[in-house]
Amino acid sequence: MAHRVLGAAAGLLILLASILAFVVPLGRSGGVRIPLGLGLILAGAQAYIGMNLAQWSGIPLVMVGHLVMGFVSIVLINQAVLAVSPGIPPQAPAPVLLLLARTCEWLLLAVVFLGGWVSATGAGLACPDFPTCRGVPLPDADYAGLIGGLFNPEVDPRLFLAPSALAALHVLHRTLGGVLLVLLTGLSFGVTSNPKVPALSRMGLGLNGLIFLTVVVAFALVQRHLPMALGALHVFVAIITLVWVGRIRQGLIVSERASSAIEGAGETPSSPLSSGVPAPSTGSVAERLRSQLGKTRGGLMSFLQGRGAVDRAFMEDLEAQLLMADLGVTATQEIIAHLSDNLEREELSDRETLRARLRAHLRDLILPVSQPLVVPAEVRPYVILVVGVNGVGKTTTIGKLAKRLQQRGLSVMLAAGDTFRAAAVEQLEAWGERNEVPVIAQHTGADSASVIYDALEAAKARKVDVLIADTAGRLHNKSNLMEELSKVKRIMARLDPSAPHEVLLVLDGGTGQNAVNQARQFHEAVGLTGLVLTKLDGTAKGGVLFALARQFGIPIRFIGIGESIDDLRDFDADEFIAALFDEEAGSTLH
């Protein structure tokens, strides 16, 4: 009775899902409607067989067909779910793995068919030992007699099949099951170790567990003489395995389609970067740095040009200029006090002397935070968590950083943890395609912590040198959003207590004192270890760099001085000061 109730409930749910597929926009596609439609037909067929099973109970084909239709229905429902929310990002094509996954699915259905036949004929006890049958690996059995027993509509199969035929059926089920386990093991190893499909590594590990559980349950079934509970568990494990392989197969199909789309277009997939990342800039680093910092230099230093007495009015103008350049009140007052206290009276008539003193003091402010990012050789994978509000260039910075690390000879993987902003995943995948680095991603709206956890697992399995994790842009004054970042750190610590090894905050150099507020809030939430200042080429308020150095002392790892992929530079205090004061200097930016 319970079987009928559950079957009826499942049928009603499939019917409801089929109706919704024609109503809800998300389900209006062949990938959803066709599997649900076929599933509804199979559910109807199962219901019809179930109502007439009493009069057909002697026909093994009917009983086995009823079981197999249930498994196929599960495959179709799983396919419809994956069509709506695949949960597996596009990866590089792996046609051999895709063929293997499809083979495993069909072979698993064949093993289910044989298992149902074994149950229908009572052949489960024909081989009371394991892994041999009646003491030998392959006993003499009537394999030809199986066909007649399967299609005989008149005779009870328990009376028709001789013991030798029952043994043949049991051996056939075991043999095909053994072949299936070998293929499943190959599939598991393939998706766990293949660098083309890093996002499937966790699925491969799960498949390993299912294979082990299948062997244990099969052995226990024979040793315990087929108890009902173990039989039910055997069927349940087969269902989970079928669904699991289906999800792996779907991920590999997505890989094939993504590859075909790229080859068909002849270029990188369309994305926010579809216009292409600008080509590398020409000219030396020092020249480009001086050029890109022109606005910052003009905002800070134009008032120092010319000659004249450095009187009180001039010092007030200097203070105003420093404040407008966003050095902040604290840093500005400290600079003015330092200059006033250390300039001799006779030096107050020489602006060049004042300029030199100002230069020296600004250098002293930022020299302690001039600490480029170092990736220790003993830490693998080295995890970099990138945070920041929307619009600061966070994803672009990640793409450029990946390129820089590759130039150092490090292997890189990206985690698309920004699952909320539209096209964020596609943008990061475009950078991954350009830099030829794997990107671990899920669908929009997925849990960011889960994505980054999967990426860390994949990075460990692939022995990747550096994992760079993107996060959703968030307002620094929203405590609930900031708490999500803390959650990401806690989740990562489950796999690696020391992760993340670097927490980089990306700041827009043109936002002024708001950047200081952002740094304060993010530092309190996740403990920043490094800063990246972008867009310094487009603002006259680059003085915020000095304010950040003065207030927090957090190392400034990189600065963005242009749109080129090579315009993310290691921050060097001496080079920055030289460019700011428009001086010739040997390039020390790397």
The whole model's pTM is what? Answer: 0.54
How much of the chain, in percent, has pLDDT values that exceed 70?
63
Helix/strand/coil percent split, the chain, to 5: 65, 5, 30
Could you tell me which of 557, 578, 588, 586 has the C-alpha nearest to residue 297? 578
Would residue 473 count as lying in a domain?
Answer: no
- d(CA 552, CA 531) in angstroms, rounded, equals 11
Pairing of strands 556-560, 530-534: parallel
Per the model's pLDDT, the better-predicted residue between 367 and 321 turns out to be 367
- d(CA 481, CA 203) in angstroms, rounded, equals 29
**Residue range 173-178: average pLDDT?**
84
Q: Is a pLDDT exceeding 90 seen at residue 307?
A: no
CA 368 centroid distance within chain: 35
pLDDT at 420: 76
Residues 2 and 107 in one domain: no
Residue after which a domain boundary falls, among 236, 267, 298: 267
Beta strand ranges found along 187-335 (DSSP E): none
**Residue range 489-507: average pLDDT?**
88
pLDDT at 413: 92
- d(CA 381, CA 384) in angstroms, rounded, equals 9
**Residue 508 φ/ψ, nearest 5 degrees:** -85, 120
Per the model's pLDDT, the better-predicted residue between 264 and 381 turns out to be 381
Residues 249 and 110 in one domain: yes
Q: In the numeric block, which tokens belong to residue 274? A: 């579809």
Residues 191 and 114 in one domain: yes
CA 491 centroid distance within chain: 14
pLDDT at 9: 63
Residue after which a domain boundary falls, among 85, 111, 142: 85
Q: Is a pLDDT exceeding 60 seen at residue 84?
A: no
Q: What is the pLDDT of residues 244-297, one digit of tens each?
A: 888 888 777 654 444 443 333 333 333 334 434 444 555 555 666 666 666 666
Could you tell me which of 485, 483, 491 has the C-alpha nearest to residue 470? 485
Would residue 457 count as lying in a domain?
Answer: no
pLDDT at 530: 94
**Residue range 87-101: average pLDDT?**
69
Would residue 125 count as lying in a domain?
Answer: yes
pLDDT at 226: 65
Could you tell me which of 512, 523, 445 has the C-alpha nearest to residue 482? 523
Could you tell me which of 394, 414, 410, 373 has the C-alpha nearest to residue 501? 373
* Average confidence score pLDDT of the chain: 74
Q: Give the DSSP H/E element, type plus range, for residue 569.
A: strand 568-570
State the total domains in the chain. Answer: 2
Residue with structure tokens 């009015």?
Answer: 313
Would residue 369 count as lying in a domain?
Answer: no
Q: What is the pLDDT of residues 419-473, one digit of tens each?
A: 777 677 888 888 888 888 888 888 777 778 888 888 898 888 888 999 999 887 7
Buried b / exposed e along 207-243 (16+ C-beta atoms within 10 A): beebbebbeebbeebbeeebeeebbebbbebbbebbb
Residues 132 and 173 in one domain: yes
Q: In the numeric block, which tokens belong to residue 238? A: 């087969």
Q: Is 190 in a helix, a strand, or coil?
A: helix
Pairing of strands 568-570, 556-560: antiparallel
Residue length of the chain: 590
Q: Is a pLDDT exceeding 60 seen at residue 85?
A: no
How would DSSP label each residue in 81-126?
A: HHHH---S------HHHHHHHHHHHHHHHHHHHHHHHHHHHTGGGS
**Residue 309 φ/ψ, nearest 5 degrees:** -70, 145
**Residue range 466-491: average pLDDT?**
76
Residues 112 and 247 in one domain: yes
CA distances from 430 to 385, 417, 475, 550, 565 (A): 19, 15, 25, 37, 13
Residue after which a domain boundary falls, among 19, 54, 85: 85
- d(CA 426, CA 413) in angstroms, rounded, equals 15
Would residue 146 count as lying in a domain?
Answer: yes
**Residue range 215-235: average pLDDT?**
76
List the domain range (segments joined by +) for residue 80.
Answer: 1-85
CB of 370 within 8 A of CB of 572? yes
Q: Which of 97-106, 157-166, 231-240 has the highest mean pLDDT?
A: 97-106
pLDDT at 26: 42
pLDDT at 293: 65
pLDDT at 316: 80
Residues 231 and 173 in one domain: yes
- d(CA 214, CA 192) in angstroms, rounded, equals 19
Least confident of 59-63, 108-112, 138-142, 438-442: 59-63
- d(CA 99, CA 79) in angstroms, rounded, equals 17
Residues 63 and 102 in one domain: no
pLDDT confidence band for 531 (50 / 70 / 90): very high
pLDDT at 390: 80
pLDDT at 105: 86
Least confident of 41-50, 351-360, 386-395: 41-50
Could you tell me which of 339, 404, 396 has the C-alpha nearest to residue 365? 339
Per the model's pLDDT, the better-predicted residue between 484 and 141 turns out to be 484
Residues 240 and 97 in one domain: yes
Would residue 188 count as lying in a domain?
Answer: yes
Would residue 123 count as lying in a domain?
Answer: yes
Residues 67 and 126 in one domain: no
Residues 80 and 176 in one domain: no
Q: Is 188 in a helix, a strand, or coil?
A: helix
Residues 159 and 255 in one domain: yes
Q: Is a pLDDT exceeding 80 seen at residue 515?
A: yes
Residue with structure tokens 């207030």?
Answer: 551
How much of the chain, in percent, has pLDDT values that exceed 90?
8
Instruction: Classify residue 23 as exposed, middle or buried by CB count within 10 Å of its CB (0-12, 13-18, 19+).
Output: exposed
Per the model's pLDDT, the better-predicted residue between 279 and 319 turns out to be 319
How would DSSP label each residue in 457-510?
A: HHHHHHT-SEEEE------TT-HHHHHHHHHHHHHHHHH-TT--SEEEEEEEGG
Would residue 417 count as lying in a domain?
Answer: no
Residues 35 and 146 in one domain: no
pLDDT at 146: 60
**What residue type is assigned to position 345 of the chain?**
R
Q: Is a pLDDT exceeding 70 seen at residue 538?
A: no
